Protein backbone atom coordinates (compact mmCIF):
# COMPACT_ATOMS: atom_id res chain seq x y z
CA UNK A 1 0.00 0.00 0.00
CA UNK A 2 2.32 2.68 -1.25
CA UNK A 3 1.22 6.25 -0.92
CA UNK A 4 2.54 9.67 -1.80
CA UNK A 5 4.10 11.37 1.18
CA UNK A 6 4.75 15.09 1.34
CA UNK A 7 7.98 16.04 3.07
CA UNK A 8 10.00 19.15 3.77
CA UNK A 9 13.69 18.44 4.14
CA UNK A 10 16.18 21.01 5.34
CA UNK A 11 19.08 21.30 2.93
CA UNK A 12 22.08 23.53 3.35
CA UNK A 13 25.31 24.03 5.24
CA UNK A 14 26.75 26.33 7.90
CA UNK A 15 26.26 29.41 5.72
CA UNK A 16 22.86 29.00 4.20
CA UNK A 17 19.97 26.60 3.89
CA UNK A 18 16.24 26.15 3.49
CA UNK A 19 13.44 23.62 3.73
CA UNK A 20 12.81 21.94 0.39
CA UNK A 21 9.50 20.34 -0.54
CA UNK A 22 9.54 16.82 -1.93
CA UNK A 23 6.94 14.17 -2.63
CA UNK A 24 8.05 10.62 -2.14
CA UNK A 25 6.50 7.18 -2.13
CA UNK A 26 6.02 5.60 1.29
CA UNK A 27 5.19 1.93 1.84
CA UNK A 28 3.30 0.40 4.70
CA UNK A 29 5.43 -0.10 7.79
CA UNK A 30 8.20 2.23 6.73
CA UNK A 31 10.04 4.58 9.05
CA UNK A 32 11.12 8.13 8.29
CA UNK A 33 14.68 6.99 7.58
CA UNK A 34 13.38 4.65 4.87
CA UNK A 35 11.65 7.46 3.01
CA UNK A 36 14.65 9.76 3.44
CA UNK A 37 16.74 7.04 1.80
CA UNK A 38 14.21 6.83 -1.04
CA UNK A 39 14.45 10.61 -1.52
CA UNK A 40 18.22 10.24 -1.56
CA UNK A 41 18.21 7.41 -4.11
CA UNK A 42 15.70 8.96 -6.47
CA UNK A 43 15.74 12.73 -6.10
CA UNK A 44 18.61 14.10 -4.02
CA UNK A 45 21.69 11.93 -4.56
CA UNK A 46 23.86 14.20 -2.44
CA UNK A 47 21.44 14.52 0.53
CA UNK A 48 23.61 14.12 3.63
CA UNK A 49 22.22 11.96 6.42
CA UNK A 50 23.95 9.93 9.11
CA UNK A 51 22.64 6.46 9.79
CA UNK A 52 23.90 3.04 10.59
CA UNK A 53 21.99 0.22 12.26
CA UNK A 54 18.36 1.08 11.40
CA UNK A 55 17.39 -0.59 14.67
CA UNK A 56 17.52 2.22 17.21
CA UNK A 57 20.74 1.04 18.76
CA UNK A 58 23.57 3.00 17.16
CA UNK A 59 22.25 6.50 17.81
CA UNK A 60 23.37 7.89 14.44
CA UNK A 61 20.14 9.03 12.76
CA UNK A 62 19.23 11.65 15.35
CA UNK A 63 17.34 14.50 13.70
CA UNK A 64 14.28 16.66 14.30
CA UNK A 65 11.05 15.42 12.81
CA UNK A 66 8.17 17.87 12.91
CA UNK A 67 10.25 19.83 15.39
CA UNK A 68 10.80 16.94 17.80
CA UNK A 69 14.24 15.42 18.39
CA UNK A 70 13.92 11.76 17.34
CA UNK A 71 15.69 8.79 15.81
CA UNK A 72 14.56 8.65 12.17
CA UNK A 73 14.83 4.85 12.13
CA UNK A 74 12.40 4.54 15.04
CA UNK A 75 9.79 6.98 13.77
CA UNK A 76 6.96 5.35 11.86
CA UNK A 77 5.63 7.24 8.87
CA UNK A 78 2.21 5.90 9.89
CA UNK A 79 2.38 7.82 13.16
CA UNK A 80 1.65 10.98 11.15
CA UNK A 81 -1.64 11.77 9.46
CA UNK A 82 -2.22 10.79 5.83
CA UNK A 83 -2.33 14.40 4.71
CA UNK A 84 0.37 15.61 7.08
CA UNK A 85 3.62 16.99 5.73
CA UNK A 86 6.64 15.57 7.55
CA UNK A 87 9.32 18.17 8.17
CA UNK A 88 12.86 16.97 8.86
CA UNK A 89 15.73 19.18 9.97
CA UNK A 90 19.15 18.58 11.45
CA UNK A 91 19.59 18.78 15.23
CA UNK A 92 19.31 22.43 16.14
CA UNK A 93 21.65 22.56 19.13
CA UNK A 94 24.81 21.65 17.25
CA UNK A 95 26.69 23.24 14.34
CA UNK A 96 25.35 21.99 11.02
CA UNK A 97 27.79 20.38 8.57
CA UNK A 98 25.48 19.64 5.69
CA UNK A 99 21.77 18.90 5.28
CA UNK A 100 20.72 16.57 8.12
CA UNK A 101 24.24 16.09 9.48
CA UNK A 102 25.55 18.08 12.44
CA UNK A 103 28.89 18.28 14.18
CA UNK A 104 28.36 16.59 17.55
CA UNK A 105 31.96 16.91 18.73
CA UNK A 106 30.76 19.07 21.65
CA UNK A 107 29.63 15.84 23.24
CA UNK A 108 32.95 14.09 22.80
CA UNK A 109 34.78 17.03 24.33
CA UNK A 110 32.46 16.89 27.32
CA UNK A 111 32.94 13.12 27.60
CA UNK A 112 36.67 13.62 27.97
CA UNK A 113 36.15 16.09 30.81
CA UNK A 114 34.36 13.53 33.02
CA UNK A 115 36.84 11.88 35.40
CA UNK A 116 36.79 8.16 34.68
CA UNK A 117 36.08 5.22 36.99
CA UNK A 118 38.61 4.96 39.77
CA UNK A 119 38.73 1.66 41.66
CA UNK A 120 40.77 1.25 44.85
CA UNK A 121 44.50 1.11 44.03
CA UNK A 122 44.92 -2.33 45.58
CA UNK A 123 42.08 -3.91 43.61
CA UNK A 124 43.68 -6.44 41.27
CA UNK A 125 42.21 -7.38 37.88
CA UNK A 126 39.59 -10.06 38.37
CA UNK A 127 39.05 -9.20 42.03
CA UNK A 128 36.29 -6.64 41.59
CA UNK A 129 32.99 -7.85 43.05
CA UNK A 130 29.59 -6.19 42.87
CA UNK A 131 26.23 -7.31 44.19
CA UNK A 132 23.35 -7.54 41.74
CA UNK A 133 21.34 -4.74 43.40
CA UNK A 134 24.26 -2.38 42.91
CA UNK A 135 24.76 -3.50 39.31
CA UNK A 136 21.10 -2.96 38.47
CA UNK A 137 21.23 0.64 39.52
CA UNK A 138 23.78 1.69 36.91
CA UNK A 139 22.49 -0.77 34.32
CA UNK A 140 19.80 1.73 33.34
CA UNK A 141 22.39 4.41 32.57
CA UNK A 142 24.42 1.88 30.58
CA UNK A 143 21.56 1.59 28.10
CA UNK A 144 22.59 4.97 26.69
CA UNK A 145 23.27 4.73 22.94
CA UNK A 146 24.78 8.22 22.73
CA UNK A 147 22.32 9.52 20.17
CA UNK A 148 22.67 12.89 21.93
CA UNK A 149 18.98 13.69 21.56
CA UNK A 150 19.00 14.71 25.24
CA UNK A 151 21.98 16.98 24.69
CA UNK A 152 20.22 18.47 21.68
CA UNK A 153 16.90 19.13 23.38
CA UNK A 154 18.33 20.52 26.62
CA UNK A 155 17.49 24.22 26.56
CA UNK A 156 20.55 25.07 28.67
CA UNK A 157 22.74 24.68 25.58
CA UNK A 158 20.14 24.56 22.82
CA UNK A 159 18.93 28.05 23.66
CA UNK A 160 22.20 29.43 25.05
CA UNK A 161 25.31 28.76 22.98
CA UNK A 162 27.44 30.49 25.62
CA UNK A 163 26.55 27.83 28.21
CA UNK A 164 28.27 25.09 26.22
CA UNK A 165 31.62 25.78 27.85
CA UNK A 166 30.31 25.27 31.37
CA UNK A 167 27.59 22.63 30.96
CA UNK A 168 28.19 18.94 30.34
CA UNK A 169 24.56 18.03 29.61
CA UNK A 170 22.19 15.19 30.57
CA UNK A 171 24.13 12.41 28.85
CA UNK A 172 27.11 13.16 31.05
CA UNK A 173 25.09 13.68 34.20
CA UNK A 174 23.99 10.05 33.89
CA UNK A 175 27.63 9.11 33.45
CA UNK A 176 28.58 11.03 36.59
CA UNK A 177 25.64 9.52 38.49
CA UNK A 178 26.59 6.03 37.38
CA UNK A 179 30.13 6.50 38.70
CA UNK A 180 29.06 8.27 41.90
CA UNK A 181 26.69 5.37 42.64
CA UNK A 182 29.33 2.77 41.75
CA UNK A 183 30.31 0.83 44.89
CA UNK A 184 33.91 0.43 43.74
CA UNK A 185 34.52 3.98 42.59
CA UNK A 186 36.54 5.88 45.17
CA UNK A 187 37.21 9.16 43.39
CA UNK A 188 36.66 12.03 45.80
CA UNK A 189 34.85 15.24 44.88
CA UNK A 190 32.75 13.84 42.03
CA UNK A 191 29.77 15.69 43.46
CA UNK A 192 31.57 19.02 43.84
CA UNK A 193 32.95 18.69 40.32
CA UNK A 194 29.49 17.93 38.97
CA UNK A 195 28.23 21.18 40.45
CA UNK A 196 31.26 23.40 39.96
CA UNK A 197 32.77 22.16 36.70
CA UNK A 198 30.07 20.27 34.81
CA UNK A 199 27.23 22.71 35.44
CA UNK A 200 24.76 20.45 37.26
CA UNK A 201 23.28 23.56 38.89
CA UNK A 202 22.39 24.94 35.45
CA UNK A 203 19.82 22.19 35.03
CA UNK A 204 16.34 23.32 36.01
CA UNK A 205 14.95 19.78 35.78
CA UNK A 206 12.39 20.58 33.09
CA UNK A 207 12.77 16.97 31.97
CA UNK A 208 13.02 17.35 28.20
CA UNK A 209 16.03 15.01 28.23
CA UNK A 210 13.85 12.28 29.71
CA UNK A 211 11.05 13.02 27.23
CA UNK A 212 13.21 12.49 24.16
CA UNK A 213 15.33 9.54 25.33
CA UNK A 214 14.77 6.64 22.88
CA UNK A 215 16.07 4.18 25.51
CA UNK A 216 13.57 5.51 28.07
CA UNK A 217 16.30 6.18 30.61
CA UNK A 218 14.74 8.19 33.44
CA UNK A 219 17.55 10.71 33.22
CA UNK A 220 16.01 13.37 35.44
CA UNK A 221 14.47 11.22 38.17
CA UNK A 222 17.21 8.63 38.44
CA UNK A 223 20.38 10.54 37.65
CA UNK A 224 20.08 14.32 37.72
CA UNK A 225 17.86 14.76 40.78
CA UNK A 226 19.79 12.14 42.82
CA UNK A 227 22.99 13.97 41.87
CA UNK A 228 21.45 17.30 42.89
CA UNK A 229 20.54 15.77 46.25
CA UNK A 230 24.07 14.40 46.62
CA UNK A 231 25.45 17.85 45.87
CA UNK A 232 23.20 19.27 48.59
CA UNK A 233 24.72 16.69 50.98
CA UNK A 234 28.20 18.04 50.44
CA UNK A 235 27.62 21.69 49.63
CA UNK A 236 24.35 23.05 50.94
CA UNK A 237 23.44 21.00 53.99
CA UNK A 238 25.34 22.12 57.11
CA UNK A 239 23.96 19.26 59.22
CA UNK A 240 25.07 16.57 56.81
CA UNK A 241 28.41 18.31 56.46
CA UNK A 242 28.80 18.32 60.23
CA UNK A 243 27.84 14.65 60.29
CA UNK A 244 30.75 13.81 58.00
CA UNK A 245 33.12 15.55 60.40
CA UNK A 246 31.82 13.63 63.40
CA UNK A 247 31.59 10.18 61.88
CA UNK A 248 32.24 8.80 58.44
CA UNK A 249 29.00 8.60 56.50
CA UNK A 250 28.74 6.37 53.52
CA UNK A 251 28.49 7.97 50.16
CA UNK A 252 29.40 11.47 51.22
CA UNK A 253 32.80 11.99 49.70
Partner 1 sequence: MSGVFSPTRAKIKERTLRTDKWWLQPAITFGVLISFVIYATFRAFENKYYFAEPLVSPFYSPCLSTSCVEGASLFGQPFNNQYFGIGISPALFILIFPLGFRMTCYYYRKAYYRAFWMSPPACAVAEPHTKYTGETRAPLILQNGHRWFFYFGLIFNVLLTYDAILAFRDAEGHWGHVSVGTLVLLLNATLLWLYSMSCHTCRHTLGGRLKHFSKHPVRYKLWSWVSVLNHKHPTFAWISLFGVAFADIYVRNVASGAWTNFYFF
Partner 2 sequence: MEFLPTQIDITKEPMEVGPTCHYVMGGVEVEPDTAAAVGVPGLFAAGEVAGGMHGSNRLGGNSLSDLLVFGRRAGMGAAEYVKSAKAVPVSDAAIKAAAERIQAPFTRSGGENSYSLHAELQEITHNLVGIIRTGAELKEAIEKIAEIRKRSANVSVAGGRKFNPGFHLAFDLDNMLLVAESTAKSAISREESRGGHTRDDFPQLDSKWRQVNHIASFDGKEVTVRKQPLPALPKELFDLFDVHELEKYMTADEIAKGGAR
Does the footprint of partner 1 cover residue 17 (CB under 8 A)? Answer: yes
Does the footprint of partner 1 cover residue 230 (CB under 8 A)? Answer: yes
The one among 147, 203, 213, 219 contacting partner 1 by CB under 8 A: 203
Kindly tell me which of 44 and 54 has the beta carbon lying closer to partner 1: 44
Pattern 106-135, binding to partner 1, x per CB under 8 A? -------------------------xxxx-
In the chain, % helix, strand, coil (3-state, to 5) comes to 40, 15, 45
Do 158 and 152 form a contact (C-beta atoms < 8 A)? yes
Which 80-109 residues touch partner 1, going by CB under 8 A?
84, 87, 89-90, 92-96, 102
122 binds, among partner 1, partner 2, none (CB under 5 to 8 A by kind): none
Do 167 and 209 form a contact (C-beta atoms < 8 A)? no
Kindly list the distances between the CA atom of residue 202 and the CA atoms of 91, 108, 119, 151, 205, in Å, as whole numbers in the listed order.
21, 20, 29, 13, 9
The one among 1, 2, 16, 55 contacting partner 1 by CB under 8 A: 16
Q: Which residues pair with 12 in a beta bridge?
A: 17
CA distance 253 to 249: 8
Does the footprint of partner 1 cover residue 156 (CB under 8 A)? Answer: yes
What does the binding site for partner 2 look like in residue numbers (CB under 8 A)? 13, 29, 31, 40-42, 45-49, 56, 73-76, 97-99, 101
Strands 3-12 and 86-89: parallel
Amino acid sequence: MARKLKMRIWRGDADTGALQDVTVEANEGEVVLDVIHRVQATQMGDLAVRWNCKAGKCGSCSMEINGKPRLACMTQVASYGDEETITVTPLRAFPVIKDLVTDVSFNYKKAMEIPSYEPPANLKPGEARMQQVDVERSQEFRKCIECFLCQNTCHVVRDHEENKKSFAGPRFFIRIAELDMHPLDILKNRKQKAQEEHGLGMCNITKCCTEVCPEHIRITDNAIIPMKERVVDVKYDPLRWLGTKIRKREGIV
